[in-house]
Amino acid sequence: MADEAKAKGNAAFSAGRFEEAARHFTDAIALAPGNHVLYSNRSAALASLHRYSDALADAQKTVELKPDWAKGYSRLGAAHLGLGDAASAVAAYEKGLALDPSNEGLKAGLEDAKKAAAAPPRRGPSGPDAIGQMFQGPELWSKIASDPTTRAYLNEPDFMQMLREVQRNPSSISMYLSDPRMMQVLSLMLNVKIQRPEASEPSQSTPPPPPQQQQQQTSPLQTKAREVEPEPEPEPMDFTDEEKERKERKAAAQKEKELGNTAYKKKDFEAAIQHYTKALELDDEDISYLTNRAAVYIEMGKYDECIKDCDKAVERGRELRADFKMISRALTRKGTALVKLAKTSKDFDIAIETYQKALTEHRNPDTLKKLNEAERAKKELEQQEYYDPKLADEEREKGNEFFKEQKYPEAIKHYTEALKRNPKDPRVYSNRAACYTKLGAMPEGLKDAEKCLELDPTFTKGYTRKGAIQFFMKEYDKAMETYQAGLKHDPKNQELLDGVRRCIEQINKANRGEISQDELQERQNKAMQDPEIQNILTDPIMRQVLNDFQENPRAAQEHLKNPGVMQKIQKLVSAGIVQMR
């Protein structure tokens, strides 16, 4: 019975009926609660509905049930990314790749998450639902669980239902503010402490001062006497001749180090080497002389000498139990030398490993930056080494043959290999998008279609692929925009013209009320997740325009003369938010 419900869910997902798919997967989970695949599938359906908080909960359950299943981390990363938590998304994709290093979906997800992490922060939400948006972050649950005043609420079903409703619809928070539990959680999220009556009451009795304070309550005469009493001079320490000599050698070594630092700043590298070498001869218990000399060898291009000094510094540092930061510095400089020596992508492996060892000693931002740069350089070099347009065309043709035979997973495999051989071919992205569409993997297909158009904005097939996927996802307004953009490059393309016609038919059906209430509600809910729609609805000017449409038609007609207002109204009509009668 669970398999039957799962099959129904898969069919609904492939048809773009994500709400229905989520319901079928929920039925299957009730019958087989230990099946990790069911939670994974429901997470994908919820993510397609932009219900990322619920998708995250299912992804976490997937990983809990099957921690060695790479796809679970793909779901986890997608949910984190949807919630705007790019750092957690990066961590999830990296865990998945540790289990399956060749997984293309995880690699692509990791790349997107890293781009999101590096991007400037988005402007926060505006309008009346700004407070409700605070409940969207992944830190909500951890904050509630860690606070003793709110922890018990997590065991109350009606409270959990309220929270999920606010996460799905941030503007609904106003309905629940009368509930003291919601006010308590809101004060926690705002970091505003609610003053309790008992906190302001004075204590009944003042405890006696501690003994130390009692001792300090001395008379002024005693204090004055204590001030004039001279403190005894410390007795000079006695040193053996050997200890005196050791102390003098350390002081001399420090002077040599300072001279070496000065020479290094002046780029007098030969002199710097001499001073650091002399410091080592005087004192072999300070590994900074080795790491400094290693830095000079890097500047001189003597990378093998640098590596030798770094290895000595690590070995000697372990013997002396030196500061872990010094060990990390030696390993970082060794990694830098190894990167300089790298000629092939495999040469970067030992450098990356060395940087990772350095980070286990001390998580230094500079080392982390060097590690990321080494990983990028390795990836770029791998692509250059693997680049072969001729073999890429052969793989593309193989993919085409499998596509004709309706063997879409096999076709995807060959298209992916073709992209490894030639990542700049828009045709392959378009073809792979078609395969994903056939398999019902709409987000992946949309991503490939967008990449296709990024590589070649004039490639008409890319617009038909992207528009078709958006149509299947019931985003008719976006699909129409895509088809119209393609028509600018090929005005007579029949596929694009048919696509525009289909979108207009669906939009008009909604305006005429020819779709079911459930379909209309689903369409509106999806549109409300669009940041552009949210901004339009929270814009004070547009709120006045919409109000005039209902109460002052003459003023509304004046508003429509403004092209910007007209465009926004059309956007709301296309999304099913506003109906024109």
The predicted pLDDT at position 370 comes to 95
Please check the confidence at residue 298 and state whether its pLDDT lies above 90.
Answer: yes
Identify which has the larger pLDDT, 104 or 457.
457
Please check the confidence at residue 37 and state whether its pLDDT lies above 60.
Answer: yes
Give exposure, 488-522, as e/b (b: 16+ Cβ within 10 Å). eebeebebbeebbebbeebbeebbeeebeeebbeb
Is there a single domain that holds both residue 81 and residue 150?
A: no
Is there a single domain that holds both residue 135 and residue 105?
A: no
Q: What is the mean pLDDT of residues 377-402?
A: 91
The predicted pLDDT at position 201 comes to 35
Which of 332, 350, 385 is a domain's end point? 385
State the helix-helix crossing angle for 426-438 and 460-472, rounded to 10 degrees: 20
The DSSP 8-state label assigned to residue 580 in this structure reads -
Please check the confidence at residue 31 and state whether its pLDDT lies above 80.
Answer: yes
Yes or no: say if 496 and 464 are a contact pair by the CB < 8 Å rule: yes
Please check the confidence at residue 52 and state whether its pLDDT lies above 90.
Answer: no
Identify which has the larger pLDDT, 202 or 312.
312
Q: How confident is the model at residue 100 (pLDDT cuts 50, 70, 90)?
A: confident
Coil, helix or strand for 403? helix
Please check the confidence at residue 309 and state whether its pLDDT lies above 70.
Answer: yes
Least trusted range by pLDDT, from 96-105, 211-220, 287-296, 426-435:
211-220
Is there a single domain that holds both residue 114 and residue 135?
A: no
**Could you tell me if residue 20 is inside a domain?**
yes
Give the number of residues written for the chain: 581
Apex 574 CA angle, 572 and 579, nearest 5? 65
Residues of the chain above pLDDT 70, percent: 82
Average per-residue pLDDT for the chain? 82
**Could you tell me if residue 560 is inside a domain?**
yes
Please check the confidence at residue 373 and state whether its pLDDT lies above 70.
Answer: yes
Please check the confidence at residue 550 and state whether its pLDDT lies above 80.
Answer: no
The predicted pLDDT at position 105 comes to 80
**Could you tell me if residue 452 is inside a domain?**
no
Q: What is the H or E stretch that residue 158 is in?
A: helix 157-168
Q: How confident is the model at residue 133 (pLDDT cuts 50, 70, 90)?
A: low
The predicted pLDDT at position 206 comes to 38
Q: What is the DSSP string of 443-502?
A: HHHHHHHHHHHHH-TT-HHHHHHHHHHHHHTT-HHHHHHHHHHHHTT-TT-HHHHHHHHH
Which of 356, 385, 414 is a domain's end point? 385
Number of domains in the chain: 4
**Could you tell me if residue 431 is inside a domain?**
no
**Could you tell me if residue 407 is inside a domain?**
no
Is there a single domain that holds both residue 275 and residue 380?
A: yes
The predicted pLDDT at position 190 comes to 63
Is there a single domain that holds both residue 262 and residue 321?
A: yes
Is there a single domain that holds both residue 331 and residue 290?
A: yes
The predicted pLDDT at position 204 comes to 37
CATH code, domain with 539: 1.10.260.100
Is there a single domain that holds both residue 150 and residue 47?
A: no
- Residue 369, domain extent: 246-385
CATH code, domain with 88: 1.25.40.10
Q: What is the mean pLDDT of residues 150-176?
A: 75
Q: How confident is the model at residue 215 (pLDDT cuts 50, 70, 90)?
A: very low
Is there a single domain that holds both residue 282 and residue 368?
A: yes
**Could you tell me if residue 252 is inside a domain?**
yes
**Could you tell me if residue 419 is inside a domain?**
no
At 397, the amino acid letter reads: E
Is there a single domain that holds both residue 371 and residue 289?
A: yes
Please check the confidence at residue 236 and state whether its pLDDT lies above 70.
Answer: no
Is there a single domain that holds both residue 114 and residue 138?
A: no
The predicted pLDDT at position 525 comes to 74
Q: How confident is the model at residue 431 (pLDDT cuts 50, 70, 90)?
A: very high
Q: How confident is the model at residue 121 (pLDDT cuts 50, 70, 90)?
A: low
**Could you tell me if residue 168 is inside a domain?**
yes
The predicted pLDDT at position 581 comes to 57
Please check the confidence at residue 255 and state whether its pLDDT lies above 50.
Answer: yes
Give exposure, 426-435, as e/b (b: 16+ Cβ within 10 Å). bbbbbbbbbb
Q: What is the mean pLDDT of residues 483-510?
A: 91
Q: How confident is the model at residue 165 (pLDDT cuts 50, 70, 90)?
A: confident
Which of 359, 385, 411 is a domain's end point? 385
Is there a single domain that holds both residue 31 and residue 111?
A: yes
Least trusted range by pLDDT, from 45-59, 336-350, 466-480, 509-523:
509-523
265-274, long-range: CB < 8 A, 24+ apart: 267/299, 269/296, 269/299, 269/300, 272/296, 273/297
Please check the confidence at residue 285 and state whether its pLDDT lies above 50.
Answer: yes
Please check the confidence at residue 78 and state whether its pLDDT lies above 60.
Answer: yes
Is there a single domain that holds both residue 80 and residue 100?
A: yes
Please check the confidence at residue 51 and state whether its pLDDT lies above 70.
Answer: yes
Q: What is the mean pLDDT of residues 251-275?
A: 94
At 227, the amino acid letter reads: E
Q: What is the mean pLDDT of residues 538-550?
A: 80
The predicted pLDDT at position 235 comes to 38
Least trusted range by pLDDT, from 48-52, 148-152, 373-377, 433-437:
148-152
Q: What is the mean pLDDT of residues 225-234?
A: 40
